[in-house]
Amino acid sequence: MLPLPMSTAIASAILGLAERFEPGGVTMGHIVDALEGEGFRPEQVEQQLWSLLAQRRLTPCGYVARKVRRRDALGEIERARSYELLFIPWSEDLDRQLDLQLAEGEG
């Protein structure tokens, strides 16, 4: 049996993680970290993840919000929020959230 093309192998691995973490979802960071541990390059995983979103094979189902503290260039502590999307396999119901109806003149 021939090995799967790299993009197919990555897509299968991403969708497998999304299914495993359903219904709560899995973060992009967790997906990238897990697949990097399996030998895939992070850039390839990120690119394939965005491709699966564009193909409507993944659906955002929420997000994780974190408060981050770091030092700025002057050494002062600054606080910032960081948000990361959660993904599940494609869901028709949740997919509708992506069809935003913007008011005229927006976007």
**pLDDT tens across the length of the chain (107 residues):** 545 577 899 999 999 999 999 889 999 999 999 999 999 999 999 999 999 998 989 988 889 999 989 888 999 999 999 999 999 998 777 666 655 554 555 54
Domain assignment of residue 103, yes or no: no
Whole-angstrom Cα distance, residue 82 to residue 27? 13
Residue 58 dihedral angles phi and psi, to the nearest 5°: -130, 150
Q: Which token pair is 39?
A: 């030998």
Domain assignment of residue 92, yes or no: yes
Q: What is the CATH number of the domain that holds 91?
A: 1.10.10
User: 69 in helix, strand or coil?
Assistant: strand
Domain assignment of residue 61, yes or no: yes
Whole-angstrom Cα distance, residue 28 to residue 93? 21
DSSP class of residue 103 equals: P
Domain assignment of residue 57, yes or no: yes
Give the total number of structural domains in the chain: 1
Domain assignment of residue 66, yes or no: yes
Domain ranges, residue 91:
6-98
Q: Which token pair is 82?
A: 């960081």
Whole-angstrom Cα distance, residue 86 to residue 60? 6
Domain assignment of residue 1, yes or no: no
Domain assignment of residue 67, yes or no: yes
| 60 contacts 94 by C-beta, under 8 angstroms | yes
0.85 surpassed by pTM: no
Domain assignment of residue 51, yes or no: yes
